[in-house]
């Protein structure tokens, strides 16, 4: 390993750690991050899940572990409170479904080499699983020192990240994981450039494992059906973000000029924007009502429902005629447009969808998602879909087929882990 860059890295942690305690996000679990709370080793598998998204991937991986009489000790770490809450909730279910897995949770320790040395020496992991892009120099160097197998699972790397890593190519060659399972050929090529082609292969994205295909069109929306008059078109504007509110207002005006009796459900992504939306709708003199104010009587035709209750977006998608998914007209990366799709509704989105690039372009070429350039083209697509809604069951079937063909990533990753553990047990590793 290059001594000078690593010495600078170690010095940086020594200077930063006292300040990190002041960070409200890192203050939570600070003792664990400093390795002041004991961990119980040895462990068979250590999984690092940075935040909420990676925590869900860790759960998918654990759920896919094969049933066996052999017991496994697993440590799962995360950087955030949100990630910890997801893992804590999942642990009880996994304990029931897979009693062979003994699962311990902790906050991810600071990557100062002396701290990581203490962690690895204490728990002595046999396999380290890093989810997505978790390349920590201190951790990797100590894992190599103790002979732990290192896998990067569901791996992804942007061109920008690769450019940054390439500033110290010799360092990363020495820290290279034993295997990288990348979510696309492009990601695999970037990892191969950094670590070498022989360590890299492609896997299905495990995020597809989290997409549920079992929701019934009737069951999911049954609780909201009574809100709508018979034979009335219903447009859902889901997960609308503050930065696109002015464009959404223009869309509403354009669409209402074609369908004045249309009922619109407006779901702000963040509840603190409800008052701003109240002011918007009063300013443009639209007939609107809060969702919480609705009685058992159907809402009047032409009404905009400002949704001020949690947990009903999916149910609204299940009975919608057409759907726009927000976070996409402004450069925000987009929100989840798979949810309306699995209910049989083709979602319309704006040009920004980077957060969901893992679903691949195939959804667009199949016509299952309508990607638009701006609010004008989004409004035009919605008008067309309201006027000519595609058959729900047909769309749902196409979506289910697309998603099923892309599952299997968790099983592939589990095979690699189990083969490694088994070969270690028989002395072949």
> Could you report the per-residue pLDDT of 355-377, keeping only the tens digit for each?
888 888 899 999 999 999 999 99
Q: Are 99 and 129 within one domain?
A: yes
Range of 39-43, 66-70, 228-232 with top mean pLDDT: 39-43
* Tens digits of residue pLDDT in 237-262: 999 999 999 999 999 999 999 999 99
Give the separation between CA 11 and CA 5, rounded to whole angstroms.
Answer: 10
183 and 259 inside one domain: no
Mean residue pLDDT across the chain: 92
Same domain, 197 and 250: no
415 and 397 in a common domain: no
The SS3 of residue 347 is: strand
Same domain membership, residue 176 and residue 64: yes
Are 267 and 376 in a shared domain? yes
> At residue 217, does pLDDT exceed 90?
no
Q: Which has the closest alpha carbon to 339: 265, 399, 404?
A: 399
Report the b/e string of 212-251 with b at 16+ CB within 10 A. Answer: eeebebeebbeebeebbeeebbbbbbbbbbbebbebbbbb
Q: Is residue 181 part of a domain?
A: yes
pLDDT at 1: 47
Are 146 and 236 within one domain? no
50 lies in the same domain as 68: yes
Question: Is the confidence at residue 390, as pLDDT, over 80?
Answer: yes
Mean pLDDT of 147-155: 97
Same domain as 101, residue 40: yes
Torsion on CA atoms 118, 120, 124, 126, rounded to nearest 10: 180
Residue 215 pLDDT more than 70? no
Are both 281 and 355 inside the same structural domain? Answer: yes
First to last CA, the chain: 24
Q: Per-residue confidence at 227, pLDDT binned at 50, 70, 90? A: confident
Q: How far apart are CA 219 and CA 223, in angstroms?
A: 8
Provide the number of structural domains found in the chain: 2
* pLDDT at residue number 297: 85
- To the question of pTM greater than 0.85 for the whole model, the response is no
**Tens-place pLDDT, residues 322-360:** 999 999 999 999 999 999 999 999 999 999 999 888 888
Given a cut of 90, whether residue 25 has pLDDT beyond it is no
Contact 158, 132 (CB under 8 A): no
- Name the residue range of residue 336's domain: 217-404
**353 plus 421 within the same structural domain:** no
Work out the average pLDDT over 87-96. 91
18 shares its domain with 82: yes
Q: Which of 6-15, 40-49, 160-169 has the lowest mean pLDDT?
A: 6-15
Can you give the CATH number for the domain in which 383 is found? 3.40.50.2000
pLDDT in tens, 6-22: 788 888 999 999 999 88
């Amino acid at each position: 390993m290059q001594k000078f860059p690593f010495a600078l890295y170690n010095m940086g942690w020594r200077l930063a750690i006292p300040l990190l305690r002041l960070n409200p996000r890192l203050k939570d679990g600070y003792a664990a991050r400093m390795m002041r709370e004991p961990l119980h080793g040895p462990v068979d598998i250590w999984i690092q899940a940075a935040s909420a998204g990676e925590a869900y991937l860790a759960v998918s991986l654990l759920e896919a572990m094969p049933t066996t009489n052999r017991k496994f000790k697993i440590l799962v770490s995360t950087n955030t409170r949100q990630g910890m809450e997801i893992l804590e909730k999942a642990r009880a279910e996994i304990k029931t479904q897979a009693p062979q897995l003994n699962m311990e949770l902790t906050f991810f320790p600071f990557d100062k080499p002396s701290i990581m040395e203490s962690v690895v020496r204490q728990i002595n992991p046999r396999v380290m699983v890093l989810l997505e892009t978790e390349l920590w120099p201190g951790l990797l160097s100590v894992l190599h020192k103790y002979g732990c197998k290192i896998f990067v699972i569901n791996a992804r790397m942007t061109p920008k990240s690769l450019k940054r890593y390439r500033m110290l190519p010799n360092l990363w060659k020495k820290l290279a994981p034993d295997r990288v399972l990348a979510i696309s050929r492009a990601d695999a090529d970037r990892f191969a450039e950094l670590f070498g082609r022989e360590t890299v292969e492609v896997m299905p994205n495990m995020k597809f494992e989290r997409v549920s295909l079992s929701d019934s069109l009737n069951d999911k929306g049954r609780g909201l059906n009574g809100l709508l008059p018979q034979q009335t078109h219903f447009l859902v504007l889901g997960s609308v973000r503050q930065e696109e509110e002015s464009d959404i207002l223009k869309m509403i005006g354009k669409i209402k000029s074609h369908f004045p009796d249309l009922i619109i459900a407006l779901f702000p992504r963040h509840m603190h924007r409800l008052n701003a939306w109240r002011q918007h709708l009063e300013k443009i003199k639209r007939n609107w009502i809060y969702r919480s104010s609705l009685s058992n009587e159907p809402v009047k035709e032409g009404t905009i429902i400002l949704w001020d209750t949690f947990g009903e977006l999916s149910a609204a998608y299940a009975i919608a005629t057409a759907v726009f998914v927000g976070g996409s007209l402004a450069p925000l990366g987009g929100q989840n447009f798979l949810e309306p799709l699995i209910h049989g509704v083709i979602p319309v989105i704006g040009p920004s969808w980077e957060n969901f690039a893992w679903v691949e372009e195939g959804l667009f070429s199949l016509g299952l998602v309508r990607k638009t350039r701006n609010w004008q083209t989004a409004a035009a697509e919605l008008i067309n879909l309201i006027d000519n809604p595609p058959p729900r069951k047909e769309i749902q079937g196409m979506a289910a087929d697309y998603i099923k063909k892309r599952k299997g990533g968790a099983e592939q990753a589990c095979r690699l882990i189990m083969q490694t553990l088994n070969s270690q047990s028989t002395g072949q590793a």
